[in-house]
Amino acid sequence: MYAAAPGICPRLIAFGGDEESKQKPYMISEYKEFSSLSSTSGKILARRMALELHEPKNSEAGAKGKFGFQWPTYCGATRLENGWFDTWDEAYGSLIKTLLDNLRQEGRTYSEICDLGDQVVAKYAKKVFLFSAVKLTSLFGPRILQSGNAGTLSSGEPIIFDPASYYGHNEADLPTCHVNVDSSLSIARIFGGFGAPFFEEYHKHRPKSQPVEEYEERVALYELFHYLNHTVLFGTGYAPPSISRMRRLLKFVEGKT
């Protein structure tokens, strides 16, 4: 992230430790003093994300044409194994499968979610969502870019932190900070949003992917990761919105085939 957009996050100074050496993992980064993200710094963040962090050319060296990430990462307490994939639908499908596997360990409690989830993974193929046209970008994560992970430096510049980085589709970074910009979108009810000006500024510099008319369905697909992960972390209260999104996606797929 720092290489793609210098200064947008604390610079990593050193890290190490692994299971083989029995050394505890460690990470040393810059220390940053910051306040809450403002409307002004939010618009700067939107512009920098669109033009730098989500610029495909800035991902070429790290990803080498692949989707995913080389190391496991965490979204809350959920471990995501990651890995490299040739296509975005394979990479994102792997993330959803990880969450479904976690839910299967709870027995029959989440059988409906797992059955629907398997169908979504099988049916949202690139021929449906045109994921073959997705350009590789460096991302914060499908995992929670939100107001609690962003702030404003004394210089007025924005700063983001606590990522679960990977290489994927730029729109996957947006649902966790989404507000009701499009009529049916309101992920803000989980995490809190950045506000409509953020998205207006972002899409001014990086327009919605084609086909634009399927944007809301893609957002629903990316929201699904977070609802499923919250079900893994916090239980059955997040199962209904997970199920409703999967049914919506499957209905959409049926209408396209």
Among 54, 56, 79, 53, which Cα is nearest to 66's?
Answer: 56
Please list, in sequence order, all residues whose beta carbon lies within 8 angstroms of the beta carbon of residue 64, skipping any fewer than 6 positions away. none
CA atoms of 257 and 15, how far apart (whole Å)? 48
- Helix, strand and coil percent figures for the chain, each rounded to 5: 50, 15, 35
Structure token digits, residue 89: 């639908």
Query: Based on the number of CB atoms within 10 Å of its own CB, is 65 exposed (0-12), middle (13-18) or buried (19 or more)?
Result: exposed
Amino acid at 45: L
Q: What is the pLDDT of residue 34?
A: 95
Nearest to 243 by CA among 120, 79, 90: 120
The pair of three-digit structure tokens given for residue 237, joined into one six-digit string: 């209260």
Res 136: pLDDT: 73
Closest CA to 253 of 131, 135, 169, 127: 127
What is the rounded CA–CA span in Å between residue 67 and residue 74? 17
pTM to 2 decimals? 0.87
Tens place of pLDDT per residue across the chain (257 aa) = 888 899 999 999 998 876 666 778 888 999 999 999 999 999 999 999 999 999 988 887 778 889 999 988 888 899 999 999 988 888 999 999 999 999 999 989 999 999 999 999 988 755 555 665 677 777 665 456 777 889 999 999 999 988 788 898 888 888 766 554 443 333 434 565 678 888 899 999 999 988 888 888 888 888 899 899 999 999 999 999 999 999 999 998 888 77
The letter for the amino acid at 220 is A
pLDDT of res. 158: 95
- pLDDT score for 32: 95
